[in-house]
Amino acid sequence: MDDLIILEVTVNGQRRSARVDRRELLVEALRARFGVTGPKIGCLTGDCGACTVRLNGLITKSCLRLAVAEEGAEIETLESMSTESGLSDLQEAFWDNNAFQCGYCLSGMLFSAEDLLEHNPTPNEQEIRQAISGNLCRCTGYDAIVTAIKQHADRVGDKTFSTRPADVGEISSQA
Ligand code: FES
Ligand code: FES
Ligand 1 centre distance from Cα of residue 98 (Å): 23
98 lines ligand 2 (CB under 6 A): no
Per-residue pLDDT of the chain (175 residues; tens, 9 = 90+): 678 999 999 999 999 999 999 999 999 999 999 999 999 999 999 999 999 999 999 999 999 999 999 999 999 999 999 988 899 999 999 999 999 999 999 999 999 999 999 999 999 999 999 999 999 999 999 999 999 999 999 999 887 655 444 444 443 333 3
Atom of ligand 1 nearest to the CA of 61: 1
137 lines ligand 2 (CB under 6 A): yes
139 lines ligand 2 (CB under 6 A): yes
For residue 146, give the amino acid letter. V
Cβ neighbors of 67 (< 8 A, separation 6 or more) are: 7, 20, 21, 24, 25, 26, 28, 29, 30, 33
pLDDT at res. 50: 98
Atom of ligand 1 nearest to the CA of 46: 4
109 lines ligand 2 (CB under 6 A): no
Ligand 1 centre distance from Cα of residue 76 (Å): 16
3 state SS of 74: strand
Distance (Å) of CA 74 to CA 3, 13, 130? 23, 8, 27
Contact between 75 and 11 under an 8 Å Cβ cutoff? The reply is: yes
pLDDT at res. 159: 76
pLDDT at res. 175: 35
Q: Estimate to the nearest angstrom the gap between the alpha carbon of 43 and the chain centroid.
A: 18
Cβ neighbors of 156 (< 8 A, separation 6 or more) are: 89, 117, 121
pLDDT at res. 172: 39
3 state SS of 111: helix
For residue 75, give the amino acid letter. I
